[in-house]
């Protein structure tokens, strides 16, 4: 892959490709933007504002040539929780704070850290989010009038308690939408199924069941045919403090999803994105979006893939998609009020099904390894608790497993050479990383050497590529003991990171240049001379 200029080789043919791709992505983005906004507990127009403002800035300022930004399903559980607990106005402030954090992440060059998030954790929380989105639309699909609850268990209990309020008309409308979404790709592969489902089911509701199903207009009021005036969320120190955990969660999830989407785009288009620039662009977009009433935005994998499949050439396609959605908002917003909520529920359910990573989940679970356990814990806690708990515990488990595996990599070979009847030379050869997870092995070597106290001890570090301060402290203890006993201790083959660390801590100076060698024969000669 190569990192191409974002507009290199641009011409009229490239502009034509960008316009076509942008219009197609815009058609896909309209129902998704409204659906994700409704699922997040806010008015549908706020999703469109996010598509227009957030998508525009992400395309212009981000680090990926083909990235399409906007509201996504991954945000739904977090945003809904903030709205239920604190309200819409505080969601705007949380989104702005998240944007500032993303800019900070980019400036600190943390973009490359995504590769350190274990795949079982990513798959686990993605599958968990899919379950939350899917179950969150059961009420709209069936027409059940249940109280809006934040937790998964509470939500299921509320739906069960209100099961007698199922609306047959909502079920029919939702089924028409679902059928159209599933059948359109087979009949008309180039036409977005979500749009067809939305139009057909809305027509069915208007013609055959007028007034019998909940619509955008009846629940949220009419959608304004204009962008809102610029407004700044109310800021107080108390709000910043209690919204900070939510802002961190939004920033981390937005950063991860945007970089995953950029990576998918790289694989599809054979290009290379700039991860830190992408984070800064995402951050600026999320600072600006709340000023227009929008919800947090990030890179949308499905829309980005659609952009590439329709032969986009540059970020201009992302700009075109935003302009197209803006024109639709200005010209056709009044007609959107007639869209039933039951028409939009299948759109999100299909999105949830597609993002569930079900094949990967089954594959990893069947392996019955530590990765299977990490995935299961992340998934269950994401669904039953929340995303931050699930990801946090998943990362903690992955860290513990990593330390355990790395500590098992350390190999120690203890070799004793008799030189005279009363003298002895011992060579301890270490192979693998010396860090806090393997210090128990190192401590055993140190204690054994201090107890038996051979006249000369050589620590062979030629095959040690990494050492931390915990390991250095154990070695320091051994060096001090030999200095006090006036016996010889040599370091053999110290290089790379361990050498730099031991220089900084002063241990190499304490051992002395004459006792720091690079060849085994030289170490034996010094000890036996």
- Give residue 410's pLDDT band: very low, low, confident or very high (50, 70, 90): low
In the structure encoding, which two tokens stand for residue 348, read together? 């999100």
pLDDT digits (tens, 9 = 90+) for 146-155: 887 778 888 8
Sequence ranges of the domains in the chain: 13-356, 410-528
Distance CA 309, CA 265 (A): 10
Position 41 scores a pLDDT of 92
Please spell the DSSP secondary structure of 221-284, one letter per residue: -PPPSSPPPP------HHHHHHHHHHHHHHHHHHHHHHHHHHHHHHHHHTB---HHHHHHHHHH
Percent of the chain whose pLDDT exceeds 90 = 56
Question: CB-based contacts of 43: which residues, under 8 Å, 6+ apart?
Answer: 37, 220, 221, 223
Distance CA 396, CA 99 (A): 26
Position 419 scores a pLDDT of 37
In the structure encoding, which two tokens stand for residue 266, read together? 């790289």
pLDDT at 229 over 60: yes
pLDDT at 5 over 90: no
pLDDT at 1 over 50: no
Neighbours of 274 (CB within 10 A): 18
Let me know: does 326 contact 337? Beta carbons within 8 Å.
no
Distances in whole angstroms, Cα of residue 112 to Cα of each of 58, 115, 259, 274, 391: 19, 6, 9, 9, 18
| Rounded average pLDDT over 484-496 | 89
Predicted TM-score of the model (pTM): 0.77
pLDDT at 52 over 50: yes
pLDDT digits (tens, 9 = 90+) for 445-468: 777 777 777 788 888 999 888 999
pLDDT digits (tens, 9 = 90+) for 276-305: 999 999 999 999 999 999 999 999 988 998
CATH number 3.40.1350.10 is the correct assignment for the domain at 410-528: no
Position 131 scores a pLDDT of 92
pLDDT digits (tens, 9 = 90+) for 355-382: 888 999 999 999 888 999 999 999 999 9
Position 90 scores a pLDDT of 96
pLDDT at 417 over 60: no
pLDDT at 105 over 90: yes
- Most confident segment among 216-220, 424-428, 436-440: 216-220
Position 509 scores a pLDDT of 92
Position 170 scores a pLDDT of 96
Of the given ranges (46-50, 76-80, 105-109, 116-120), which has the lowest mean pLDDT? 116-120
**Does 452 or 336 have the greater pLDDT score?**
336
pLDDT at 418 over 60: no
Position 100 scores a pLDDT of 97
pLDDT at 422 over 50: no
Position 506 scores a pLDDT of 93
Position 396 scores a pLDDT of 93
Position 214 scores a pLDDT of 93
**Does 471 or 319 have the greater pLDDT score?**
319
Position 59 scores a pLDDT of 95
| Rounded average pLDDT over 236-243 | 94
């Amino acid at each position: 892959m190569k990192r191409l200029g974002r507009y290199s080789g641009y011409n009229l043919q490239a502009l034509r490709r960008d316009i076509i791709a942008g219009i197609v992505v815009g058609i896909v983005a309209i129902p998704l933007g409204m659906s994700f906004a409704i699922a997040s507990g806010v008015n549908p127009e706020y999703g469109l504002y996010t598509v227009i403002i957030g998508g525009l800035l992400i395309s212009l300022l981000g680090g990926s040539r083909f990235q399409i930004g906007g509201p996504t399903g991954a945000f739904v559980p977090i945003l809904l929780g903030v709205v239920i607990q604190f309200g819409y106005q505080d969601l705007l402030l949380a989104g702005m704070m998240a944007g500032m954090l993303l800019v900070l992440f980019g400036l600190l060059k943390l973009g490359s850290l995504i590769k350190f998030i274990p795949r079982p954790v990513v798959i686990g929380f993605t599958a968990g989010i899919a379950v939350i989105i899917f179950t969150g639309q059961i009420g709209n699909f069936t027409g059940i009038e249940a109280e809006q609850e934040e937790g998964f268990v509470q939500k299921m209990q509320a739906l069960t308690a209100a099961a007698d309020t199922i609306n047959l008309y909502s079920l029919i409308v939702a089924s028409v939408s679902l059928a159209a979404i599933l059948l359109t790709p087979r009949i008309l592969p180039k036409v977005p199924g979500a749009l067809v489902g939305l139009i057909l089911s809305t027509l069915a509701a208007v013609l055959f069941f007028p007034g019998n199903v909940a619509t955008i207009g009846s629940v949220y009021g009419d959608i304004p045919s204009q962008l809102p005036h610029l407004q700044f969320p109310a800021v107080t120190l108390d709000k910043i403090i209690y919204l900070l955990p939510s802002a961190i969660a939004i920033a981390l999830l937005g950063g991860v999803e945007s970089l995953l989407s950029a990576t998918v785009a790289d694989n599809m288009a054979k290009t290379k994105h700039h991860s830190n620039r992408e984070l800064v662009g995402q951050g600026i977009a999320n600072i600006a979006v709340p000023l227009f009433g929008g919800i947090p935005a990030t890179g949308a994998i499905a829309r980005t893939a659609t952009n590439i499949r329709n032969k986009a050439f540059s970020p201009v396609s992302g700009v075109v998609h935003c302009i197209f959605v803006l024109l639709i908002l200005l010209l056709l917003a009044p007609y959107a009020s007639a869209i039933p909520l039951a028409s939009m529920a299948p759109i999100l359910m299909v999105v949830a099904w597609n993002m569930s990573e079900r094949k990967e989940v089954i594959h990893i679970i069947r392996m019955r390894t530590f990765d299977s356990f990490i995935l299961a814990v992340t998934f269950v806690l994401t669904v039953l608790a929340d995303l931050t708990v699930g990801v946090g515990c998943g990362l903690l488990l992955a860290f513990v497993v990593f330390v355990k595996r790395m500590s098992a990599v350390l190999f120690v070979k203890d070799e004793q050479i008799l030189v005279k009847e009363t003298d002895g030379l011992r060579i301890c050869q270490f192979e693998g990383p010396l860090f806090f997870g393997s210090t128990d092995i190192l401590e055993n070597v140190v204690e054994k050497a201090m107890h038996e106290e051979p006249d000369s001890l050589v620590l062979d570090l030629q095959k040690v590529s990494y050492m931390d301060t915990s390991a250095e402290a154990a070695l320091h203890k051994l060096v001090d003991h030999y200095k006090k006993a006036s016996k010889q201790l040599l370091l053999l083959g110290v290089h790379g990171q361990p050498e730099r660390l031991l220089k900084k801590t002063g241990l190499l100076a304490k051992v002395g240049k004459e006792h720091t060698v690079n060849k085994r024969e030289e170490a034996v000669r010094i000890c036996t001379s």
